[in-house]
Amino acid sequence: MTYNIAVVGSTGAVGREMLQTLYERDFPVDNVYALASSKSPGRQVGFGDERTIDVQPIEDFDFSKVDFAFFSAGGDVSEKYAPLAGKNGALVIDNSSAFRMTQNVPLIVPEVNHYDLKGCLSENGGMNIIANPNCSTAQLVMALCPLHREFIIKRAVVATYQAVSGAGKEAMDELFNQTKKIYVNDPLEKNVFTKEISFNLIPHIDVFLDDGFTKEEVKMRDETKKILDENIDVVAHCVRVPVFVGHSEAVFIECENPMDEEVAREVLTEMEGVIVIDHRADEGYITPKEAAGEDGVYISRIRRDESVPSGLVFWCVSDNLRKGAALNAVQIAELAISQGIK
């Protein structure tokens, strides 16, 4: 059986990665529709090595023609068009934050919470929408899941180092252009980020809230609880770094059960989608550059945290455009097919 697919936001970094991932995983596609706003007239995007697709305006599209609609065009577009697509029979997999905390909208990382998705369907009181988590949350819960099963995590403290591609193609262009201009002493322009990103770090992602945290940090807390366990306390500090692709996280966990470092290493190694590269030597760890273009969630620098009775520290890296977005979305569609939803 084959399926008709729409990719909303197809001209953006995640949308293009979505098309590439569908092709690479040999997803059973019949027709593929590339959608974007009416501001992208006459553009084309690639699907596979030889095929190109004309980009259509989302404003005029009939979603009853597709089985799956992948949304990666931001919250405003999702809020307007995702419910419409769902009402017209498409199963929506939404990469924005618009519906992640909505009741009857599953928030899914297939390796972690692959429970029955049928509750999302309209006949069961749902909206025909499944949410993809925040890119930083996706890789975090992949690492926390096996550790939580073994040790019962009470608290997780996370410092993220997030690539500019998490803010879209324009953000990647801004890093490239600023870097180039520094070397020729040209004046720098800031259009996407609040401060210069080239050769710099910005300790601020998304809008500030009244308590001093940012929306990105609250997303990580709330989404981890929804996906994994409401009883886990999570605190995050999110930092934008001058890296094109690949989010990194320094993670500190405190557990209820006694910590055994070797058992922790073992359960992480056995977790589907997790790759442990941890040699206590120079170059014995993963960096975002090496994770870019790869599907796995990489874990390095595993060690006991002696400052608490049962703690562990580790380094977690993943390609934010793949497992953090496109790959996870396609895996959700594959899961829906396996459960007979489509």
Same domain, 116 and 220: no
135 noted as active-site residue: yes
Tell me the two tokens of residue 105: 């909208």
Q: What is the pTM of this model?
A: 0.94
Q: Please state whether beta strands 68-71 and 3-8 pair in parallel, antiparallel, or not at all (unpaired).
A: parallel
SS3 category, 84: helix
Each residue's pLDDT tens digit, 211-235? 999 999 999 999 999 999 999 999 9
Confidence of residue 39 (pLDDT cuts 50, 70, 90): confident
Average pLDDT over residues 22-44: 89
Each residue's pLDDT tens digit, 178-223? 999 999 999 999 999 999 999 999 999 999 999 999 999 999 999 9
Which of 135, 238, 255, 316 does the annotation list as catalytic? 135
Other beta carbons within 10 Å of 136: 29
Which of 120, 238, 247, 316 does the annotation list as catalytic? 247
Tell me the two tokens of residue 196: 């210069």
Same domain, 39 and 78: yes
Same domain, 244 and 287: yes
Nearest to 70 by CA among 33, 99, 101: 33
> What is the domain range of residue 83?
3-132+325-338
For residues 67 and 104, is the Cβ–Cβ distance under 8 A? no
Same domain, 62 and 192: no
DSSP letter at 242 equals S
Tell me the two tokens of residue 241: 């770094």
SS3 category, 216: helix
Each residue's pLDDT tens digit, 314-328? 999 999 999 999 999
Query: What is the per-residue pLDDT for 41?
Result: 65
* Domain CATH number, residue 295: 3.30.360.10
CA distance 253 to 305: 8
Same domain, 116 and 70: yes
For residues 161 and 291, is the Cβ–Cβ distance under 8 A? no
Least confident of 111-125, 236-250, 282-296: 111-125
Average pLDDT over residues 95-116: 93
Confidence of residue 125 (pLDDT cuts 50, 70, 90): confident
Nearest to 148 by CA among 233, 230, 263, 229: 229
Same domain, 248 and 189: yes
Number of domains in the chain: 2
CA distance 333 to 342: 9
Query: What is the per-residue pLDDT for 123?
Result: 81
